[in-house]
Structure 1
């Protein structure tokens, strides 16, 4: 605040000096009033007037800047006294004897109340129910009795090729003409037999005795008996030709107005003598 007041006073002083000096210079520069000029008469010469030299102006004075306020001395805070740990009072000891309470009041006793009795109700009357009539026992289906038929057997007999002798194959085999086969049935008290011979194609067809029917055909077998060829006369067991082959049913047929069932066996083969 003091520095600002001093600065303003110095500026006002400097401004007043500047205005005063400007008025002085202007009065010196203006010429004095000249006398009237007359024609034909030369006026007297006046020596030039020079203004007096200016006095050196004093430099403005400024007030010294205010001193900055001195900082107050700082003091270290006094050392804190060591804080003592808080002391706690020991917890109160629990009472040794448990508290006693008065017994709860007994609930009031009321006399038992009888439930309301409803008047007896009669059960609803339903009409009598009768069990449904038992169904009549189902009759087992009836099938027509199988027809008893006579037995006929067919087959073919070959002679094996020397290339495949001893093997169960008919590759390269040729049919035998006049080979004998036999049908044997054991469905009666006495054994029933029948024989037949092959044609040029090795085919044979024979009929069993009339005492043998389709009901007992499962007890019949067909086997090889002999061959007319000396070089091919050893029966082989191909398809049971040696031990006896069982009959395979093929189809029913009628001959001389008699029913037959045709069975098939084989094909059979004889082993060749290759040397």
Structure 2
């Protein structure tokens, strides 16, 4: 796998791709360069048959500090006061977050340190998240006169409305333990077992049929905003097509015959 200075890529033999934010000096901010790297990395992971699961991790004391405010402030020097540049960055960021959701491979955030503003959005956009018990989360835009409107999109789709609004309206820091309680992350674990815990989960998922995982992930996000009857109609049609797939035949046969399945990922 190719690796840049600010985003490391490591693919192991079991098909687990670790993407590691590595712009430590800027607290792994979502700069224009980082957004471009992440967007390309998730597009490539989705298309690479060797990749079965993606783990998004970070080096340094911060998981991700959100947008690079110095970079964005520099954009104000344009004749339009930065409007076009801000629109570009917001579009790039939205593209990355949707790219994570639309990636056919499950994505697990492995969170150490702080994840603030768009960094919190990044965690919320992942399918699963495991956090160090020393990690923390916040959407602190209200402290600087900038409501975290784009982080709100991912946050409000992962935690109950009142929990999301409390984070957004106060900007207060949320501990990893509390983040697990409200559903922002799956588990908060001791720092010394964070990577092992994340990789154990990733290996468990990677052992499944990638066709089945892609089918399920796509259906999960598609049905959420449908009415109950539409969701059942849609999910039923997905189930029918899934039942006709080769791996479903193999998996059911293996279960009946009390043996391990041999996935063809088809």
Query: TM class by shorter-chain length?
Result: under 0.3
TM-score (norm 2): 0.17
Question: Higher strand proportion, which one?
Answer: 1
* Structure of greater Rg: 1
The TM-score with structure 1 as length reference comes to 0.17
